[in-house]
Every structure is written in C-alpha cells, then in structure tokens.
Amino acid sequence: MTTPPDIREIDAKARRVRALILDVDGVLTDGRVIYLPGGNEGRTFHVRDGLGIQLLMASGCTVALLSGRESDVVTRRAHELGITALRLGIEDKVDAFESLLDEFQLNDLQVAYVGDDLPDIPVLRRAGLGFAVADAAPEVRSAADLVLRTAGGQGAVREACERILKAKEAWRV
C-alpha cells in the first residue's frame, strides 16, 4: 500500500507551474483509436478537459501536447483549444520535453506533466509536478506525484487543471 501524497506539498509544486504538458492517447483520450473508412481515424475528447485547458491558459499558463503518434484529429482539437505547442509523432519524450522547456524558457520545476503509460515515466520524473490518470499503468502511478481520481479521456485533464488553478488561488466559479 502506498502512502497518500501530502496535498500541501502537491499544492506547493502546483503554485510553481507555468506550463502543463499533456500526453494525448490515454490522457486526453481514453486511449482507443478508431479507424474509419478512407484511412481516417477518430478519437473522443471530453469537453470538461477542454474547458479546464482553456481556464488554465486564461490564467497565464501555457499548455502543450506531446505524443508518440501523429494525428490530424489531435491537431484539430489542439487548434480548437488554442494550443499551439505540439510535439506529435515523437520517439523520445524527454527530448521533446526539453525542446518545450527551451521554447517556453522554463525549468523542470515550472512544468506539470500528465501521463498514463511507460513512455511517460522519464518525463514524469523530470517534471516539477507529475500527474498520472486513474487508469494509468501501475509503474506510471508509482512515478507520479499525484494519481488523479479520473481516468484518461474522462475528465482527468480537467482535474489536473483545477488542482493547479486552486493551488494558485486562480480558480474562478
């Protein structure tokens, strides 16, 4: 049995966050890819995640997407939400993470990351605040600072955004 995280420590880390970097499949989506006729693909996104992202960006935080897969659907969703920092079809998430740090002129401690599977572990360990979705692989949950209550594609990103905004006292209802 793991010990519960110290929420005061999580909130202290969240107050430093200036950028949120998200894995896509299994975090913004439930991890399923739907192959459609004509070679297209489909994914579903939760609208609450979208609102959480928009609220976080409105507070001054930057949001970026990082994925091993390229996808027109993901690019479209990012565009709809106003996310311009995309690293899709990447092989090394740490290299992409470092590229985003350089682009945003931030250090590790100023970044939160949400992941769900094994390729996310090195980035979770680097980020100042690492979140795992509720249905993440056990190794990912162990590497994260906080395991979210919500599964990937079901509002987990919204939960992470709220945690950051509330810690910064920027949650407006």
Kindly report, residue by residue over 133-144, the tens digit of the pLDDT.
999 999 999 999
- The side-by-side arrangement of strands in the sheet containing 85-88 is 85-88, 62-67, 19-23, 111-115, 129-132, 146-147
What residues have CB less than 8 Å from 155, skipping those under 6 apart? 46, 48, 49, 52
Determine the Cα–Cα distance for residues 57 and 148; give it in Å rounded to an integer: 20
Mean pLDDT of the chain: 94
pLDDT at 1 over 50: no
pLDDT at 149 over 90: yes
From the candidate CATH numbers 3.40.50.1000, 1.20.120.80, 3.40.47.10, 3.30.1600.10, the one assigned to the domain spanning 12-167:
3.40.50.1000
Residue-wise pLDDT tens digits, 66-82: 999 998 999 999 999 99
The pLDDT value given to residue 173: 73
The pLDDT value given to residue 39: 83
Give the global pTM: 0.94
Inter-residue contact 62 to 104 (CB < 8 Å): yes
Q: Where are the domains of the chain?
A: 12-167
Residues of the chain with pLDDT > 90, as a percent, come to 87
- Per DSSP, 110 falls in state G
The pLDDT value given to residue 40: 84
Determine the Cα–Cα distance for residues 76 and 82; give it in Å rounded to an integer: 10
The pLDDT value given to residue 3: 55
pLDDT band at 4, cuts 50/70/90?
low
- The single residue listed with the structure tokens 């509720």 is 134
> Burial of 158 by CB count in 10 Å (0-12 exposed, 13-18 middle, 19+ buried)?
buried
pLDDT at 87 over 50: yes
Determine the Cα–Cα distance for residues 140 and 143; give it in Å rounded to an integer: 5
> Burial of 95 by CB count in 10 Å (0-12 exposed, 13-18 middle, 19+ buried)?
exposed
